[in-house]
Amino acid sequence: MSPYPEQGAVIFPIRPPYILGETACGYTLRLVEANGYDWRRSTFASRGIRMKDLTHGTTSALARILDPAIVERIDWFTPRASETGGVILCGEAFQPSQILYDRQRFCVGCWADDSGRSYGSSRRPLHLRGWWSVAALISCPLHAIRLLDRCAECSRTNRIGQASCTSCMCGADLARVARIEVPSSTLAAERYVVGRLGGLPRIFDPVLDGLPLGDAVNLMQRLGCCLTAGRDVRFGRLPTERRSEMMLAGYHAIQRGPEGVEEALELLLAAPGRLDQLRVQIGQLYCWFSRLPKGRLQSWMAERIANVVRRHRISWQGWDRHVGSSPVPDRISASQAKLLFGSGWERTVAVLEAAGLRCELQDRCRPTVDRRQVQMLAKRLETLVDVNALAKRVGITPASVRKLVEAEILPLDPLGQTASAFPRFDPAAVEAILGKMAGRAPFVASPPKGSACLAAAARSVGIVPLCRALLEGRLAPIGQLEAGPGFKRIFVPTTGIVEACRVRELPQVTLSEAGRILRMRQYGLALIAGTGLIPVGENSRGRRVLDRRDVEQFGSRFVSTTELARSRSTSARAILSRLTAAGCRPAIELAVRGQIEIRLFDRSCEIYLKTPQMKARERSAPSDIQGRYPV
């Protein structure tokens, strides 16, 4: 018979009977083999009918040569595209990625059963099963052996249409491949899937039975991945061999009912994780869940997630649009608090931690905070003012406000410092300081005679000495107005104000004040303090301070070339040259990155800078003093 008969003639005179459960490509391969062809030399291939069309359920070529009832059975057991973009196999809906089209998998045990059964007067032929193309099935639940797709002789992947049903391109018999046995106890999920596809007696499950089989497989695999793969492992990077293990773990969790699914999610939330991040597995589960079409699976999973969120009070944003109302209406996440504060993420987290609202951070991921407390905190932050607003409010300049802050008279708000990069003040705290300054001064309708407001008095004695004198009781106000800016409504007497505000020498000085005492730049003084030549401490605000006696003692021992040059009306370079020529070496020399920044000499070096006239004047000075002031 010619392999290419004319169109309209009988193409295949031998028609092997159809075996229930056989796919379109499997029957077609048996059909062409029964008529003495292989696939490449068959009439289907010569007419442009591809094996890919048959594997995807296009059976129009078979409809011209077979009975319509047989073609309908073939369509039932062959994966075919649905109108919704999915795949239908044995009446069950799958996603295209869940079906293997090109790879021909087989079970040696099933073929052994075919060989041992009679089919009419002859032996039942070996054939392909439709459920072998489901990617989630790694093993055959009927015989507890692994499904194979490679030739044991050449290790080539078996492709549909490259050879016959049971032989490889190299000629090896695939039915004689050695079996790879798997424990029967690990095939519960496979039994459920094959049972729904008609290959085994069906196993009923109240949760999975209400879902399309593709969604049920996805649910089992996703939950199993959460239970077995670890909390920070990505599902797509796991090897295919582990899918069976994951599907089994998910199947057992679903068998326990909704509680089993919720416990699977809670296991990933139990251990501490990264700041404000869901576990990778939960994130992947949500990504899969969010892409689900509206239906029973989506609403069922949304209810499970809502229960977990409610019990753990966590923030899992995005899924809440799938439920009627939020299970934690009195809680919000840090991201939602950020919108209330109007600040960035890091500052929002810092404010919540400073306010003590995120104490559970180490116990669970994505913690939520009390909505009412956050709203109250946001209102409090709105009442804080900056330097310019405070200066206008109290009636002084912004520079005076900064001086009072540096002198620790006006307090900075701790939450304001955390929430903003600029100083923030609580008006109530500032008014309390002004109330202490006013003391028991009586309220007057107009300024008393011989008095000046604090803003005016500060111009003569300084804002810091004036405020300290008022707070320490060395100066008492004589009246205050009922309204007006704080520093303009308190009045002090103009007489005796200078004596009362005279600055006392404090035992501790800041770096800037110590620099003025030593006539040295603050940068250079910081280098000296860093080496330990002058002991450094901290005040109540955490600022570095120096002991006044240590500073004065240091200044009495050492002198810089700049100070020597100023006292002699010359340049520092000239002073350094004269000291070097006299063989006087620096007592302290500090370098930064190879460049000398600090060079100090002992004060005894001044003897090398005296001119002959100065030395002669010093020799004659004692006799003049004795003659002028007799002892």
In terms of domains, do 308 and 231 share one? Answer: yes
pLDDT at 123: 63
The amino acid at residue 444 is V
pLDDT at 321: 63
**Phi, psi of 491, deg, nearest 5:** -120, 140
Mapping DSSP to helix (H, G, I), strand (E, B) and coil, where does residue 546 land? strand
In terms of domains, do 544 and 515 share one? Answer: yes
Which tokens is 105 given?
């998998």
Of 160-164, 172-176, 604-608, least confident by mean pLDDT is 160-164
Q: Where are the beta strands (DSSP E) in 384-449?
A: none
When pLDDT is cut at 50, 70 and 90, the band that residue 622 belongs to is very low
When pLDDT is cut at 50, 70 and 90, the band that residue 236 belongs to is low
User: How far is residue 118's CA from residue 301's CA, in Å, rounded to a whole number?
Assistant: 48
Residue numbers of the domain that contains 536:
509-614
User: How far is residue 398's CA from residue 386's CA, in Å, rounded to a whole number?
Assistant: 10
In terms of domains, do 394 and 368 share one? Answer: no
- Which of 158, 186, 214 is the last residue in one of the domains? 186
Residue 268 belongs to a domain: yes
In terms of domains, do 527 and 559 share one? Answer: yes
Residue 629 belongs to a domain: no
Which tokens is 273 given?
């994780």
In terms of domains, do 38 and 76 share one? Answer: yes
The amino acid at residue 392 is K
Report whether pLDDT(556) > 80: yes
pLDDT at 41: 53
In terms of domains, do 428 and 316 share one? Answer: no
pLDDT at 144: 92
Question: Which residues have a Cβ under 8 Å from the Cβ of 266 and sit 6 or more positions away?
Answer: 308, 311, 312
pLDDT at 449: 87
Of 138-147, 473-482, 595-604, 605-614, least confident by mean pLDDT is 605-614
**Phi, psi of 21, deg, nearest 5:** 100, -5
pLDDT, tens digit (0-9, with 9 covering 90-100), for 278-303? 566 666 777 777 777 777 777 888 88
Q: Which of 469, 527, 523 is nearest to 497 (CA)?
A: 469
Of 21-30, 272-281, 309-318, 426-435, least confident by mean pLDDT is 272-281
User: How far is residue 603's CA from residue 614's CA, in Å, rounded to a whole number?
Assistant: 17
Of 154-168, 203-217, 577-591, least confident by mean pLDDT is 154-168
226 contacts 265 by C-beta, under 8 angstroms = yes
In terms of domains, do 43 and 152 share one? Answer: yes
Report whether pLDDT(427) > 70: yes
pLDDT, tens digit (0-9, with 9 covering 90-100), for 114-136? 877 655 545 668 888 888 889 88
User: How far is residue 490's CA from residue 484's CA, in Å, rounded to a whole number?
Assistant: 9
Report whether pLDDT(30) > 70: yes
Report whether pLDDT(319) > 50: yes
Question: Which residues have a Cβ under 8 Å from the Cβ of 629 and sit 6 or more positions away?
Answer: none
Helix (H) or strand (E) holding 490: strand 490-493
In terms of domains, do 142 and 35 share one? Answer: yes
DSSP code of residue 105 = -
> Scanning the structure block, which residue is given the tokens 């939020």?
326
In terms of domains, do 496 and 576 share one? Answer: no
User: How far is residue 69's CA from residue 412's CA, in Å, rounded to a whole number?
Assistant: 87
When pLDDT is cut at 50, 70 and 90, the band that residue 40 belongs to is low
Out of 165-174, 406-415, 564-573, 587-596, give the one with best mean pLDDT: 406-415
Torsion angle defined by CA atoms of residues 405, 409, 413 and 418, in that order, rounded to the nearest 10 degrees: 40
Contacts 24+ apart (CB under 8 A), 413-416: 413/384, 414/354, 415/351, 415/354, 415/355, 415/377, 415/380, 415/381, 415/384, 416/381, 416/384
pLDDT, tens digit (0-9, with 9 covering 90-100), for 144-153? 999 888 888 8
Residue 518 belongs to a domain: yes
When pLDDT is cut at 50, 70 and 90, the band that residue 140 belongs to is very high
Q: Please report, rounded to a whole number, the percentage of residues in the chain having pLDDT higher than 70.
A: 82
When pLDDT is averaged across residues 152-162 and rounded to a whole number, the result is 79
Question: Which residues have a Cβ under 8 Å from the Cβ of 487 and sit 6 or more positions away?
Answer: 394, 395, 396, 434, 453, 454, 455, 458
Which tokens is 142 given?
């009927």
Residue 15 belongs to a domain: no
Question: Which residues have a Cβ under 8 Å from the Cβ of 622 and sit 6 or more positions away?
Answer: none
In terms of pLDDT, which residue wins out, 335 or 389? 389
Q: Where are the beta strands (DSSP E) in 11-82?
A: 80-81
Out of 38-47, 180-189, 521-530, 541-550, give the one with best mean pLDDT: 180-189
User: What is the average pLDDT score of the chain?
Assistant: 79
pLDDT at 327: 63
Report whether pLDDT(473) > 70: yes
Question: Which residues have a Cβ under 8 Å from the Cβ of 23 and sit 6 or more positions away?
Answer: 55, 74, 77, 78, 79, 128, 129, 130, 133
In terms of domains, do 374 and 399 share one? Answer: no
pLDDT at 627: 34
DSSP 156-212: PBPBTTTS-SSB-TT--BGGGSPP-B--GGG-HHHHHHHHHTTSS-----TTGGGS-
Of 204-213, 317-326, 457-466, least confident by mean pLDDT is 317-326
User: How far is residue 403's CA from residue 401's CA, in Å, rounded to a whole number?
Assistant: 5
Which tokens is 258 given?
């909704």
pLDDT at 626: 37
- Which of 500, 534, 567 is the last residue in one of the domains? 500
Residue 12 belongs to a domain: no
Residue 5 belongs to a domain: no
**Phi, psi of 344, deg, nearest 5:** -75, 175
Q: Within a 10 A sphere around the Cβ of 588, how many other Cβ atoms?
A: 17
47 contacts 5 by C-beta, under 8 angstroms = no
Q: What angle do CA 74, 80, 83 make, to 5 degrees?
A: 130
Which tokens is 572 given?
């520092």
Report whether pLDDT(43) > 70: no
- Which of 474, 500, 526 is the last residue in one of the domains? 500
In terms of domains, do 489 and 533 share one? Answer: no
User: How far is residue 579's CA from residue 404's CA, in Å, rounded to a whole number?
Assistant: 44
Q: What angle do CA 324, 330, 331 make, to 5 degrees?
A: 95
In terms of domains, do 228 and 90 share one? Answer: no
When pLDDT is averaged across residues 569-581 and rounded to a whole number, the result is 84
DSSP code of residue 148 = B
pLDDT, tens digit (0-9, with 9 covering 90-100), for 249-283? 889 988 888 888 888 777 776 655 554 555 666 66
When pLDDT is cut at 50, 70 and 90, the band that residue 468 belongs to is confident
Q: Please report, rounded to a whole number, the percentage of residues in the chain having pLDDT higher than 90.
A: 6
Domain count, the chain: 5
Q: Which of 143, 150, 136 is nearest to 196 (CA)?
A: 136
Report whether pLDDT(5) > 50: no
User: How far is residue 459's CA from residue 450's CA, in Å, rounded to a whole number?
Assistant: 16
Report whether pLDDT(174) > 80: yes
Residue 107 belongs to a domain: yes
Report whether pLDDT(442) > 70: yes
Residue 626 belongs to a domain: no
User: How far is residue 592's CA from residue 215's CA, in Å, rounded to a whole number?
Assistant: 68
Please return the burial class of 180, using the count of CB atoms within 10 Å of its CB with bins 0-12, 13-18 and 19+. exposed
> Scanning the structure block, which residue is given the tokens 């701790």?
414
282 contacts 372 by C-beta, under 8 angstroms = no
pLDDT at 399: 92
Which tokens is 300 given?
């069922």
pLDDT at 563: 82
